[in-house]
Chain A
């Protein structure tokens, strides 16, 4: 708009000034101006003003449109295009601009696709790693995968950001990776563990966190792995953290892990039906499990049950 004002002023001066000068000279030289020449002068001034406005507008409008398009791209909205109004340099500007915008959108989409593929590839690698752990223990087949899925759903239920939900998926898949260091005989043992055996089992969160700590892309999952056996009341392991001292991702993986353990067969207990597991879960609310996480888990389970009852509606 500033450009339009400046142009309007410039062109109006350039076109109008000579006309005004002529009128001035005429008025001074011949005292009596006939009405015809006054009308002609006024007409010339009016035409000059109208043409100036037209010129100012025809130059300013395409430029303003390009400015708007450039600002939209600057704020990350690739692919915005501007109208091409004329076959001149201004039209060329718009054409070049549109091409650039489309190319940016293409690069952006390509980039996103590559990142997505990369993450999916990582995830596949993690899954096969985790299934190696699940395979050590016949009772936990598919456990890691289910914990990851449930933990991510709880995270979304709590409105956590995308990166935290990703950390929950990775942390869920890898939470028991440290069991790689625990002898198979202990993992499969039906009888109560001796104190020595228990000590061997209880190092697995720390071992797991150490295994994963060197991988930059799994950084967010490390606290989830290390803390997944901490308890809300402070009675867990390995760091005996209490309440909010326990990282939220660890509290969530703990709840998901507990739920999956209750509802699948274990060496020490048969699977509970969901109806029997829910009261058990309620008992753990505020002792083992963060109350807020418990409530989110229950909401997720309700939604799953509703979806299972009405599969056609899903």
Chain B
């Protein structure tokens, strides 16, 4: 269990470069609007809610590494099963003569778009299903947002997101391998999908922060950190389910923006049931409907 892997892996939200770029953006914003300085103080970063996030991050990292990762089916396995299925049903297909560069571009884009689409729907189900909401609620019980709130996710939700990844990446890969054989590959930067990388650089860590970074007109296409902050408010938690793209929220009528408001209140409607790090783990199982 190496925590450094979180910092040095560009697949992680808290990759040093993403943290740094978010920090840089935050500092520029504070420079432009000095009042934002109050969003970035010890009071917030060392609040009870934040400390809970940090503790939970460490404990759940063990759960993920030792309990979830070894048991969860991977995208690779899903892909292999599906390729066999495709070959049985549709027969063997001689790999198409297409330049590898084009396949790589298309595959990278497909992985990203399908991945983002499935994220939207799983997130939406986590809110609409009463059973799933029990588990997703622990993410929303954070009353203060900081980059580590991203990891305040119940193991059950981790499993669901992991399965979602295995299925979506597995299906996309199977189709591409069936059609193009070994010509698949992803455009990567620091070992991660280039789109994930760009998203990370554009202040992804500010989604869980109080700095209201907005994307202006691009909010019709992308979820800005402020839009995700709105999702964490009591009033708009049934909107802006999107990860990177906001087009899913647009298409499925959950898109919401408004003029930037200061001092928004985050957390649950009800009294926060999560006061200890252990309660984050067991509370969803004990709770009466």
A and B together in one complex: no
